[in-house]
Each structure stands twice: as structure tokens, then as C-alpha cells.
Amino acid sequence: MVGGVMDQDDVILVTGAAGMVGSAVVQAFRRQSFRRILTPTRQEFDLRDAGRVDEYFAQHRPDYVFMVAAKVGGIAANRADPVSFLADNSRIQLNLFEACHRYRVRKSLFLGSSCIYPRDCPQPMREESLLTGPLEPTNEGYALAKILGLKLAQYYFEQYGLITVCPMPCNIYGTGDHFDLARSHVLSALVKRMCDARDQNLSSITLWGTGTARREFIHVTDVADCLLFLMDRQQTPDIINVGTGTDVSIKQLAMLIADQVGYRGEILWDPSQPDGMPRKCLDISRLTELGFRARIGLEEGVRQTLSDYRQLIAKARCA
């Protein structure tokens, strides 16, 4: 089966279109004047229900499918509910891959995560490092589900010819992320903590871990542009890293956000809480060779995220 290049009249399904990445993908399509974008809500299209998934595909017959929907969260959420991070994400993937095959989708995209790589992976992490060592325990359930998705992509390609593009992004942040501390990712959580501390005139705040763990961050707008870029160019399920190739320590990130917020209190660290993987930085040489580079730097992206959070606070106060 040949996937081809997406046309503006093709029917394109974006799962998880209400989420941070999904909504950015929809916006990227609309900037390019695509006209037939399917964006079903969770209420009308429960991806965990195989029957509902089959009915939706039978009715709408998408040409291309972006598998963006997933149960996601930070360390706290993963530790609190590993069962659903593994089970829900696995069900979603099993149902979507089967429907893509059954209804002869031209090409699909499965969005992975850099957490698929071993905890002690050589840095920067290359695609060949998959399954070469134990995973990070604090998000193992989510990582296992993503690895299942990668294997499904490989097997459906080898057995049935279904083409799936498999980008592996680093930590994604930006417009559309939530700021619920129980479920949020590290950058959004830090933005909320620093803004609230400044507004409340707190003399100090305490953050999880030691601050020494290093992470690579990419803005969701760059991710969306990259997914469309790869969908038109990749013809195999070989994984490809998506990132900036640059990482920072959590302590450096906290200081950057504090500086932009204007928080002058003391930042304390709680080493009794986990850091997660010591370092997660991707080797993006394959992506660079294809001609893609992220455009939004971390400082600019943090400013945008701060603006998003302040707008949410303002709306809540007006309500």
C-alpha cells in the first residue's frame, strides 16, 4: 500500500482533537486550507470501545488518521494510576490500528513519547536504543502502552501493508495544556506554581525532586507542524525522534520561569520525591536530515505559556 501525500480534499481524522497536541494539529491543517478534518469528541467517539470505533470508521471512511489521543500526565498522575495509563492507552491503540486496517486507511500516524527509551539510555537518545534496557519506573505503564503501539505499527505494516508514521517527541508544552497540578506536565506545573507564588507573595516554594534531572522541551506548535511534515514524507513505521536537540535541568527551567514571572522568593527542593529519568535528550539527526527544525525557542515558549495561564486566571476571576 502506498500512503502518498495528503490532499486538501482528503478526509483526515484527528483523534484527541480537543487536547493540546490534537488541537494544534487541527490548527495546522486549517492554516494549510484542508477542508475535511474530522474532530470527534470523547463523548461521541470513545476510543476504548471497539464497537464505537468500528462504527465511526464505517460511517466516515477517513483517508488519513492521526492517532494523537491518549491518557497522559506527569509523574504524580502516572504513579497514582498506572493501570489506566497502560490499559486505556492499549485499548485505544488496539482499536484504532484494527479500524485503520479494516477500512483501508491510506496512512496513519501514531504519536509516541520519549519515555519509551530505557531509564539509563545513552544520551542523546537514538532510535536504535528502543528495548535495550529497563524503563523508568515512574511512567512504566504509559511507556509500555506506547511501545505496544510501536509494535502494532510495525506488525500491521509487515503483515497487511498499513503504513504508519511513528514520531517520538520529547516533552511537549504550550497552548492547550492544562494546569491541574495533579495531572499536569512539568513545565505547565512550574508556570502555575511560580505565578501563584508571586500572586500570593510567598517567601518560598518547594518543588519535587532535586532539580538536577534534565529534560528537552518542544512547543506544541512545532510538534503539529512536524507531524504534518512527517506524514507526507515517511513511508515506513520506523520511529523518528522529534525535538530540539537541547535540554535543560529542571532547576534551570524553574529559574527561567521564576525570572519571567518576577518571583523573587526562595526555591526549595524536596529530594524525597522522584526526579524520574536522570536525563532525556533526543538525537534528532534523522529529523534534521529530512529538513525539519523547531522554530519556537524555550524562552519564547515559556512566555507564551505564562500568557496562557494569566488569561485563564483572568477568565476565572471574571466568571
- Which residues carry out catalysis? 142
Return the H-helix or E-strand segment holding 111: none
Return the H-helix or E-strand segment holding 230: helix 220-233
259's CB contacts (< 8 A; 6+ apart) are none
CA distances from 234 to 1, 33, 228, 274 (A): 13, 22, 10, 37
DSSP state of 128: G
Check whether the bond before 278 is cis (ω within 30° of 0).
no
State the Cα–Cα distance between residues 21 and 17, nearest whole angstrom: 7
Pick the closest to residue 75 from 254, 250, 317, 288 (CA basis): 250
248 DSSP β-pair partners: 215
Question: Could you give the strand order of the β-sheet that contains 239-242, starting from the edge strand earlier in sequence?
Answer: 37-38, 12-14, 64-67, 107-110, 164-169, 239-242
For 199-228, the DSSP string reads HTT-SEEEEES-S--EEEEEEHHHHHHHHH
Backbone φ and ψ of 219, nearest 5°: -70, 145
Longest dimension (CA), the chain: 61
Q: How far apart are the first and last CA of the chain?
A: 52
315's CB contacts (< 8 A; 6+ apart) are none
